[in-house]
Amino acid sequence: MPDYQATADWARAQDATDPLRAFRDEFLIPPHEGHDSVYFCGNSLGLQPRAVREAVNAELDYWGELAVEGHFKGRLPWMDYHEFVRDDLAAVVGAKPSEVVAMNTLGVNLHLMMVSFYRPTKERHAILIEGGAFPTDRYAVESQIRFHGFDPATSLIELASDEPNGTISMAAIEHALAKHGHHVALVMLPGVQYRNGQVFDLKAITALAQKHGCMVGFDLAHAVGNLPLQLHNSGADFAIWCSYKYLNSGPGAVGGAFVHERHAKAALPRFAGWWGHDKTTRFQMGPQFVPTAGADGWQLSNPPILALAPLRVSLQIFRRAGMQALREKSLKLTGYLEWLVQTQLANVLQVVTPAEPERRGAQLSIRVIGGRERGRALFEYLMEHGIIGDWREPDVIRISPAPLYNRFADCLAFVEAVRAWSRID
Ligand SMILES: *Cc1c(COP(=O)(O)O)cnc(C)c1O
C-alpha cells in the first residue's frame, strides 16, 4: 500500500506528480458556486471532453456544406464512420478490431446478442444471471425467455449472494453451474456489478460456463473504460456495453458490442439490417442478406453520426492515456479513498465494495452507519456542497473517482465534507 496520508499537502503532491494529471484539463468540470465541483459520478455519466463540441460541429458543418455527399466526402466520410472508432474501441476492451462494433445502445445490443446466442431447447433453456442484476438485464432476459415460449419461473436462474456485503464468490458460480449447468443455455453476468462495485472474473467464468456447454455473455456497462479488459482472451461469446459512463461519450451515447472471432463467419440466426450486409455489395441492394464477417455483421442501420462523434473523440483520449496507466492510477486513487474512509470515517461510513483491489474498479459503494435515512441525509448534503456521487436504493452512495479527471485532492474533499456533515448531524 502506498504511504497514504490524510493531508492536503500529501494529496496535492500526488496530483502534482501524477503522470496522467494533464488529462483533467481536457474535460469540462461542472461548476459549483464558482469552483469546480468534486465529480465522482463518472460511473453514471462521464464528463464531457472539451474536444467534443468541435467534433460535433464539424459534422454539422459537413451536413450543411456537403449534404448527401458527406457520406463520401469530408475528413471522415459518414459511410465508414463507425470504422473510425473501431481500433480504439478494440484496444479499450482487449479485442480484435473485427470483434467490436459501436452501435445502438446497451439494451438494444443485449437483445440483438441474445437473438444469436440464446437458442433455448427443451433440455437447455435457462439463463443464469445474478440475483441483483440491473433492471434492463433482468427485463431483457425474462422477455427473451418468454419470447421463446419458456417461463422465467423455471428458466431464469438467479445467483444469490454468498458473501457478507452482497457480493458473489466464484465458488457460488461454480456451485450453481454444477447444479443447473446441464440446462443453462446462457450465462449472462456483469463485468462490474453496478450496485456494489464487485468485479467478475470474465475468463474464469467463461471457462466454467463452457465446461458445462453454456454460451457466455457479459454486460460491461460499468467495466468498459474502468478496467483493462481482455475480451478476446476471455473467450466469451459476446459482450455489450454503453459509452456514457466511464467512456465519457455523452448522454444516450452509442453503445457497443463484442462478438468473439470464432463466430465471425458462423451462420448464426440474427436480426438483420442493411448496415450489417457485406460492405462490398451493400449498395447492390440485393434481396439476399450476406452478413459482413465479424461484429459489424450485427449492425442494423446506418449509424447516428452526431452521436458517434463524441465517442470517437473520447476514445482518442483513452488511446493516449492507455488503459494500463489508467488502471494504475485508479488503483492508487480508489485505494486512497478507501484508506481515508477506513482511517478517518470508520464511525460514519462502511464500504461494501470488495476490499481486494483486483475485485473492484474505480467505484466504492458506501453505506452510512445508522441506516437509510442518515444515508439519504448525507447524500443530499454532499450534493448541496458540490460533491457529486449517486444514490442507489436502498442505502448505497456510489463514489467513483475516475482516473482521467479525478484527483487525490477530490478524495480528501469528500472526507472533509463527510466530517463537516457528521459534526452537524
Ligand atoms: C447503465 C446500465 C444499463 C443501461 O442500459 P441502456 O440501454 O444504456 O439504457 C444497463 N445495464 C447495466 C448493468 C448498466 O449499468
Please identify, by atom number, the ligand 1 atom nearest to the C-alpha of residue 133: 13
**Residue 221, ligand 1, Cβ within 6 A:** yes
Ligand 1 centroid–CA 226 distance in Å is 15
Name the least confident of 1-10, 13-22, 396-405.
1-10
pLDDT in tens, 239-281: 999 999 999 999 999 999 999 999 998 889 999 999 999 989 9
- Looking at the predicted structure, is the pLDDT value of residue 321 above 80? yes
Mean pLDDT of 145-171: 97
Using CA atoms, how far apart are residues 111 and 140, in angstroms rounded to an integer? 7
Tell me, using a 6 A CB cutoff, whether residue 106 lines ligand 1: yes
- pLDDT-derived band of residue 327, with 50, 70 and 90 as boundaries? very high
Q: pLDDT tens digit string along 399-412?
A: 999 999 999 999 99
Q: Which three cell numbers stand for residue 96?
A: 480484435
Residue nearest to atom 15 of ligand 1 (CA): 221
User: Measured between alpha carbons, how far is 273 from 108 in angstroms, rounded to an integer?
Assistant: 14
Does the beta carbon of 296 lie inside 6 Å of ligand 1? no
Give the model's pLDDT for residue 66. 96
CA distance 402 to 40: 7
Residue identifier of the C-alpha nearest atom 8 of ligand 1: 106
Phi (first) and psi of residue 156, to 5 degrees: -110, 120
Pairing between β-strand 215-219 and β-strand 184-190 as defined by DSSP bridges = parallel
Angle (deg, nearest 10), helices 8-17 and 323-344:
180
CA 140 → CA 34, 80, 127, 279, 392, distances in Å? 43, 30, 11, 30, 21
CB 408 within 8 A of CB 14: yes
Instruction: Band the pLDDT of 359: cuts 50, 70, 90.
Output: very high
Asked if residue 101 has pLDDT above 70, the reply is yes
Asked whether the CA dihedral 262, 116, 102, 247 is positive or negative, the reply is: negative
Identify the three-state secondary structure at position 364: strand
Half-sphere exposure of 168 (CA within 13 A, CB side): 25
Residue 1 reports pLDDT greater than 70 = no
pTM: 0.97
Atom of ligand 1 nearest to the CA of 137: 11
Q: To test the ligand 1 pocket, which listed residue (41, 105, 106) has its Cβ within 8 A of the most ligand atoms?
A: 106
Which pairs count as long-range contacts for 144-147, CB under 8 Å and 24+ apart, including other chains? 144/111, 144/114, 144/118, 145/120
**Ligand 1 in contact with 392 (CB < 6 A)?**
no
Residue 267, pLDDT score? 85
Helices 372-384, 408-424: axis angle to 10 degrees equals 120
List CB contacts of 43: < 8 A, sequence separation 6 or more: 194, 222, 226, 245, 246, 362, 363, 390, 398, 400, 402
Mean pLDDT, residues 348-374? 96
How far is residue 235's CA from residue 220's CA, in Å, rounded to a whole number?
Answer: 15
The residue with greater pLDDT, 266 or 124, is 124
Three-state DSSP at 149 gives coil
Q: Residue 294: pLDDT band by 50, 70, 90 thresholds?
A: very high
Report the number of secondary-structure helices (H) and strands (E) in the chain.
13, 15
Give the pLDDT of residue 183: 97
| Distance of CA 245 from the midpoint of ligand 1 (Å) | 9
Stretch 305-320: mean pLDDT, rounded?
A: 98
Q: What is the pLDDT of residues 198-245, one digit of tens each?
A: 999 999 999 999 999 999 999 999 999 999 999 999 999 999 999 999
Beta strands 126-130 and 364-368, pairing class:
unpaired
- Tell me which amino acid residue 314 is: S
Confidence of residue 190 (pLDDT cuts 50, 70, 90): very high
pLDDT reported for residue 2: 73
Q: Which domains does the chain have, with CATH numbers?
A: 8-36+323-424 (3.90.1150.10), 56-319 (3.40.640.10)
Q: Is the CB of 190 under 6 A from ligand 1?
A: yes
